[in-house]
Amino acid sequence: MESWKLIQKRIEDTSELIEIADESLRPDLENEISAIENEVSRREFDILLSGPYDQGNALLTINSGAGGTEAMDWTAMLERLYLRWAEKHGYQSEILDFTEGEEAGIKSITIAINGSYAYGYLKAEKGVHRLVRLSPFDAAHRRHTSFAQVEILPEASSDDPDVQINPEDLRIDIFKSSGAGGQNVQKNATAIRITHLPTGLVVSCQNERSQIQNRENAMRVLRSRLLEIKLEEQEKQIAVLRGEFTKNEWGSQIRSYVLHPYQMVKDHRTEYETGNTQSVLDGDIDKFIEAFLRAQKISDVPK
Protein backbone atom coordinates (compact mmCIF):
# COMPACT_ATOMS: atom_id res chain seq x y z
CA MET A 1 0.00 0.00 0.00
CA GLU A 2 2.83 2.38 0.85
CA SER A 3 4.29 2.19 -2.68
CA TRP A 4 0.92 3.06 -4.23
CA LYS A 5 0.45 5.97 -1.82
CA LEU A 6 3.83 7.36 -2.88
CA ILE A 7 2.78 7.17 -6.54
CA GLN A 8 -0.49 8.92 -5.72
CA LYS A 9 1.47 11.70 -3.98
CA ARG A 10 3.73 12.11 -7.04
CA ILE A 11 0.66 12.38 -9.29
CA GLU A 12 -0.92 15.03 -7.05
CA ASP A 13 2.30 17.05 -6.83
CA THR A 14 2.84 16.89 -10.59
CA SER A 15 -0.77 17.90 -11.28
CA GLU A 16 -0.45 20.93 -9.04
CA LEU A 17 2.83 21.91 -10.70
CA ILE A 18 1.29 21.63 -14.18
CA GLU A 19 -1.37 24.20 -13.23
CA ILE A 20 1.19 26.87 -12.29
CA ALA A 21 4.16 25.96 -14.49
CA ASP A 22 5.35 27.91 -17.53
CA GLU A 23 6.72 26.52 -20.80
CA SER A 24 10.28 26.30 -19.41
CA LEU A 25 9.25 23.46 -17.06
CA ARG A 26 7.57 21.45 -19.80
CA PRO A 27 10.53 19.04 -20.46
CA ASP A 28 10.91 18.25 -16.75
CA LEU A 29 7.18 17.68 -16.34
CA GLU A 30 7.04 15.41 -19.38
CA ASN A 31 9.91 13.34 -17.96
CA GLU A 32 8.16 13.07 -14.60
CA ILE A 33 4.87 12.03 -16.23
CA SER A 34 6.70 9.36 -18.23
CA ALA A 35 8.44 8.12 -15.07
CA ILE A 36 5.12 7.90 -13.21
CA GLU A 37 3.50 5.99 -16.09
CA ASN A 38 6.40 3.51 -16.15
CA GLU A 39 6.20 3.03 -12.39
CA VAL A 40 2.44 2.45 -12.50
CA SER A 41 2.89 -0.04 -15.33
CA ARG A 42 5.55 -1.91 -13.35
CA ARG A 43 3.40 -1.98 -10.22
CA GLU A 44 0.41 -3.24 -12.21
CA PHE A 45 2.61 -6.00 -13.62
CA ASP A 46 3.72 -6.97 -10.09
CA ILE A 47 0.06 -7.71 -9.33
CA LEU A 48 0.39 -10.66 -11.73
CA LEU A 49 2.94 -12.09 -9.29
CA SER A 50 0.49 -12.93 -6.56
CA GLY A 51 1.46 -16.54 -5.88
CA PRO A 52 2.51 -17.52 -2.35
CA TYR A 53 6.20 -17.78 -3.32
CA ASP A 54 6.36 -15.23 -6.15
CA GLN A 55 7.92 -12.50 -4.02
CA GLY A 56 10.84 -14.67 -2.86
CA ASN A 57 14.14 -16.06 -4.10
CA ALA A 58 14.53 -18.66 -6.83
CA LEU A 59 16.78 -21.64 -7.47
CA LEU A 60 17.63 -21.99 -11.16
CA THR A 61 19.02 -25.27 -12.55
CA ILE A 62 20.13 -25.75 -16.15
CA ASN A 63 20.72 -29.30 -17.43
CA SER A 64 22.21 -30.04 -20.84
CA GLY A 65 20.10 -32.33 -23.00
CA ALA A 66 20.37 -33.95 -26.40
CA GLY A 67 23.25 -32.62 -28.46
CA GLY A 68 26.45 -33.68 -26.68
CA THR A 69 29.16 -31.03 -26.51
CA GLU A 70 26.95 -28.65 -28.46
CA ALA A 71 24.22 -28.93 -25.78
CA MET A 72 26.74 -28.38 -22.98
CA ASP A 73 27.95 -25.21 -24.70
CA TRP A 74 24.29 -24.16 -25.02
CA THR A 75 23.91 -24.69 -21.26
CA ALA A 76 26.87 -22.35 -20.68
CA MET A 77 25.24 -19.76 -22.96
CA LEU A 78 22.03 -19.98 -20.93
CA GLU A 79 24.01 -19.58 -17.70
CA ARG A 80 25.46 -16.34 -19.08
CA LEU A 81 21.99 -15.20 -20.20
CA TYR A 82 20.42 -15.64 -16.76
CA LEU A 83 23.38 -14.20 -14.84
CA ARG A 84 23.20 -11.08 -17.02
CA TRP A 85 19.44 -10.86 -16.57
CA ALA A 86 19.86 -11.11 -12.79
CA GLU A 87 22.58 -8.45 -12.79
CA LYS A 88 20.41 -6.04 -14.79
CA HIS A 89 17.62 -6.44 -12.24
CA GLY A 90 19.87 -6.02 -9.22
CA TYR A 91 19.55 -9.62 -8.05
CA GLN A 92 22.34 -11.45 -6.23
CA SER A 93 23.51 -14.69 -7.86
CA GLU A 94 25.21 -17.57 -6.09
CA ILE A 95 26.37 -20.77 -7.81
CA LEU A 96 25.42 -23.72 -5.58
CA ASP A 97 26.46 -26.64 -7.78
CA PHE A 98 28.41 -26.90 -11.02
CA THR A 99 29.40 -29.82 -13.24
CA GLU A 100 31.64 -29.09 -16.20
CA GLY A 101 31.08 -30.58 -19.63
CA GLU A 102 33.40 -33.32 -20.80
CA GLU A 103 34.95 -31.25 -23.61
CA ALA A 104 33.40 -27.80 -23.26
CA GLY A 105 30.54 -25.95 -21.63
CA ILE A 106 28.47 -27.06 -18.66
CA LYS A 107 26.72 -30.33 -17.99
CA SER A 108 24.61 -29.02 -15.11
CA ILE A 109 24.52 -25.92 -12.93
CA THR A 110 22.35 -24.70 -10.04
CA ILE A 111 22.23 -20.98 -9.22
CA ALA A 112 20.46 -19.20 -6.35
CA ILE A 113 18.90 -15.94 -7.59
CA ASN A 114 18.18 -13.80 -4.53
CA GLY A 115 15.95 -10.74 -4.57
CA SER A 116 12.38 -9.50 -4.47
CA TYR A 117 10.09 -11.32 -6.97
CA ALA A 118 12.96 -13.41 -8.39
CA TYR A 119 10.83 -16.57 -8.45
CA GLY A 120 7.75 -14.74 -9.71
CA TYR A 121 9.58 -13.58 -12.81
CA LEU A 122 11.81 -16.59 -13.45
CA LYS A 123 9.04 -19.19 -13.20
CA ALA A 124 8.19 -18.14 -16.78
CA GLU A 125 11.50 -19.69 -17.90
CA LYS A 126 10.79 -23.24 -16.74
CA GLY A 127 10.98 -25.75 -19.56
CA VAL A 128 13.09 -26.95 -22.47
CA HIS A 129 15.04 -24.38 -24.48
CA ARG A 130 16.08 -25.26 -28.06
CA LEU A 131 19.05 -23.81 -29.96
CA VAL A 132 19.60 -24.02 -33.74
CA ARG A 133 22.94 -22.78 -35.09
CA LEU A 134 26.06 -23.60 -37.10
CA SER A 135 28.09 -25.62 -34.63
CA PRO A 136 31.57 -24.31 -33.72
CA PHE A 137 32.41 -27.89 -32.66
CA ASP A 138 31.68 -29.41 -36.07
CA ALA A 139 34.63 -29.43 -38.49
CA ALA A 140 32.19 -29.32 -41.39
CA HIS A 141 30.41 -26.34 -39.76
CA ARG A 142 27.00 -27.94 -40.16
CA ARG A 143 23.77 -26.79 -38.55
CA HIS A 144 23.00 -28.45 -35.21
CA THR A 145 19.99 -28.49 -32.90
CA SER A 146 20.59 -28.83 -29.16
CA PHE A 147 18.48 -28.71 -26.03
CA ALA A 148 18.78 -27.65 -22.39
CA GLN A 149 16.24 -27.92 -19.62
CA VAL A 150 15.69 -25.01 -17.23
CA GLU A 151 14.21 -25.74 -13.81
CA ILE A 152 12.96 -22.92 -11.59
CA LEU A 153 12.24 -23.68 -7.93
CA PRO A 154 10.89 -21.39 -5.22
CA GLU A 155 13.34 -21.28 -2.35
CA ALA A 156 11.78 -22.85 0.74
CA SER A 157 12.95 -21.54 4.11
CA SER A 158 14.07 -23.96 6.81
CA ASP A 159 10.91 -23.18 8.82
CA ASP A 160 8.47 -23.45 5.90
CA PRO A 161 5.47 -25.42 7.23
CA ASP A 162 4.89 -26.90 3.76
CA VAL A 163 8.24 -28.71 3.84
CA GLN A 164 8.91 -31.08 6.71
CA ILE A 165 12.15 -33.11 6.52
CA ASN A 166 12.82 -35.92 8.97
CA PRO A 167 16.61 -36.35 9.45
CA GLU A 168 16.06 -40.10 9.55
CA ASP A 169 14.79 -39.93 5.96
CA LEU A 170 18.14 -38.66 4.68
CA ARG A 171 21.19 -40.54 3.48
CA ILE A 172 24.23 -38.27 3.28
CA ASP A 173 27.31 -39.23 1.26
CA ILE A 174 30.59 -37.30 1.28
CA PHE A 175 32.98 -37.43 -1.67
CA LYS A 176 35.76 -35.50 -3.36
CA SER A 177 34.71 -32.70 -5.69
CA SER A 178 35.38 -33.20 -9.36
CA GLY A 179 37.38 -30.55 -11.16
CA ALA A 180 39.30 -29.64 -14.26
CA GLY A 181 42.53 -31.08 -12.86
CA GLY A 182 45.69 -29.59 -11.36
CA GLN A 183 45.07 -27.13 -8.55
CA ASN A 184 41.31 -27.23 -9.14
CA VAL A 185 40.94 -30.80 -7.86
CA GLN A 186 39.84 -31.01 -4.24
CA LYS A 187 42.21 -33.14 -2.16
CA ASN A 188 39.71 -33.39 0.70
CA ALA A 189 36.22 -34.87 0.65
CA THR A 190 33.99 -31.77 0.77
CA ALA A 191 31.27 -32.54 -1.77
CA ILE A 192 27.88 -33.60 -0.39
CA ARG A 193 25.23 -35.86 -1.86
CA ILE A 194 21.89 -36.10 -0.01
CA THR A 195 19.29 -38.73 -0.84
CA HIS A 196 15.74 -38.23 0.41
CA LEU A 197 14.68 -41.82 0.91
CA PRO A 198 10.85 -41.43 0.83
CA THR A 199 10.88 -39.69 -2.58
CA GLY A 200 14.17 -40.90 -4.03
CA LEU A 201 15.28 -37.31 -4.68
CA VAL A 202 19.05 -36.91 -4.92
CA VAL A 203 20.79 -33.53 -4.65
CA SER A 204 24.49 -32.77 -4.56
CA CYS A 205 26.63 -29.70 -4.00
CA GLN A 206 30.35 -29.47 -4.59
CA ASN A 207 30.97 -25.86 -5.47
CA GLU A 208 32.24 -24.73 -2.06
CA ARG A 209 35.48 -25.84 -0.39
CA SER A 210 33.66 -26.21 2.92
CA GLN A 211 31.81 -29.45 3.60
CA ILE A 212 29.46 -27.58 5.94
CA GLN A 213 28.63 -24.98 3.28
CA ASN A 214 28.03 -27.65 0.65
CA ARG A 215 25.70 -29.47 3.03
CA GLU A 216 23.72 -26.28 3.74
CA ASN A 217 23.41 -25.58 0.01
CA ALA A 218 22.33 -29.16 -0.70
CA MET A 219 19.62 -28.84 1.95
CA ARG A 220 18.46 -25.58 0.35
CA VAL A 221 18.02 -27.36 -2.96
CA LEU A 222 16.35 -30.40 -1.36
CA ARG A 223 13.81 -28.26 0.50
CA SER A 224 12.98 -26.41 -2.72
CA ARG A 225 12.57 -29.64 -4.71
CA LEU A 226 10.25 -31.09 -2.07
CA LEU A 227 8.25 -27.86 -2.12
CA GLU A 228 8.03 -28.04 -5.92
CA ILE A 229 6.64 -31.59 -5.72
CA LYS A 230 3.93 -30.41 -3.33
CA LEU A 231 3.03 -27.36 -5.46
CA GLU A 232 2.94 -29.41 -8.68
CA GLU A 233 0.62 -31.93 -7.06
CA GLN A 234 -1.72 -29.12 -6.04
CA GLU A 235 -1.63 -27.63 -9.55
CA LYS A 236 -2.27 -31.05 -11.07
CA GLN A 237 -5.36 -31.56 -8.91
CA ILE A 238 -6.72 -28.15 -9.95
CA ALA A 239 -5.94 -28.80 -13.64
CA VAL A 240 -7.62 -32.21 -13.53
CA LEU A 241 -10.74 -30.61 -12.08
CA ARG A 242 -10.70 -28.10 -14.95
CA GLY A 243 -9.97 -30.82 -17.50
CA GLU A 244 -6.75 -29.09 -18.57
CA PHE A 245 -3.99 -31.34 -17.24
CA THR A 246 -1.07 -31.99 -19.59
CA LYS A 247 2.23 -33.58 -18.61
CA ASN A 248 5.36 -31.41 -18.87
CA GLU A 249 8.02 -33.48 -20.66
CA TRP A 250 11.32 -33.03 -22.46
CA GLY A 251 9.69 -33.19 -25.88
CA SER A 252 7.78 -29.94 -25.48
CA GLN A 253 10.23 -27.05 -25.75
CA ILE A 254 8.94 -23.68 -24.59
CA ARG A 255 11.28 -21.52 -26.66
CA SER A 256 13.45 -21.76 -29.76
CA TYR A 257 16.59 -19.71 -30.37
CA VAL A 258 17.44 -19.83 -34.08
CA LEU A 259 20.79 -18.35 -35.14
CA HIS A 260 20.91 -19.96 -38.61
CA PRO A 261 19.65 -19.77 -41.36
CA TYR A 262 17.84 -16.73 -39.93
CA GLN A 263 17.83 -14.87 -36.60
CA MET A 264 14.82 -15.35 -34.32
CA VAL A 265 13.87 -16.21 -30.77
CA LYS A 266 10.29 -17.44 -30.40
CA ASP A 267 8.29 -18.53 -27.38
CA HIS A 268 5.95 -21.34 -28.40
CA ARG A 269 3.52 -20.76 -25.52
CA THR A 270 2.72 -17.13 -26.29
CA GLU A 271 3.96 -16.79 -29.91
CA TYR A 272 5.99 -13.75 -28.83
CA GLU A 273 9.14 -13.46 -30.93
CA THR A 274 12.03 -11.14 -31.74
CA GLY A 275 14.76 -11.01 -34.35
CA ASN A 276 17.27 -9.44 -31.97
CA THR A 277 18.84 -12.71 -30.87
CA GLN A 278 22.02 -11.14 -29.47
CA SER A 279 20.04 -8.93 -27.11
CA VAL A 280 18.14 -11.98 -25.81
CA LEU A 281 21.36 -13.95 -25.30
CA ASP A 282 22.66 -10.93 -23.36
CA GLY A 283 19.79 -11.32 -20.88
CA ASP A 284 17.05 -9.18 -22.40
CA ILE A 285 14.15 -11.59 -21.77
CA ASP A 286 11.69 -9.32 -19.95
CA LYS A 287 9.26 -9.18 -22.89
CA PHE A 288 9.13 -12.99 -23.01
CA ILE A 289 8.52 -13.15 -19.26
CA GLU A 290 5.81 -10.49 -19.37
CA ALA A 291 4.02 -12.13 -22.32
CA PHE A 292 3.95 -15.49 -20.52
CA LEU A 293 2.77 -14.11 -17.16
CA ARG A 294 0.00 -12.06 -18.78
CA ALA A 295 -1.14 -15.06 -20.84
CA GLN A 296 -1.04 -17.26 -17.75
CA LYS A 297 -3.13 -14.77 -15.78
CA ILE A 298 -5.76 -14.78 -18.53
CA SER A 299 -5.83 -18.61 -18.65
CA ASP A 300 -6.23 -18.73 -14.86
CA VAL A 301 -9.57 -16.92 -15.09
CA PRO A 302 -12.36 -19.55 -14.69
CA LYS A 303 -14.24 -20.22 -17.93
pLDDT digits (tens, 9 = 90+) for 117-145: 999 999 999 999 999 999 888 877 788 89
Share of the chain above pLDDT 70, in %: 90
pLDDT digits (tens, 9 = 90+) for 211-253: 888 999 999 999 999 998 988 887 777 666 656 544 444 557 8
Whole-structure pTM value:
0.79
CA–CA distance, 97 with 76 (Å, rounded to integer): 14
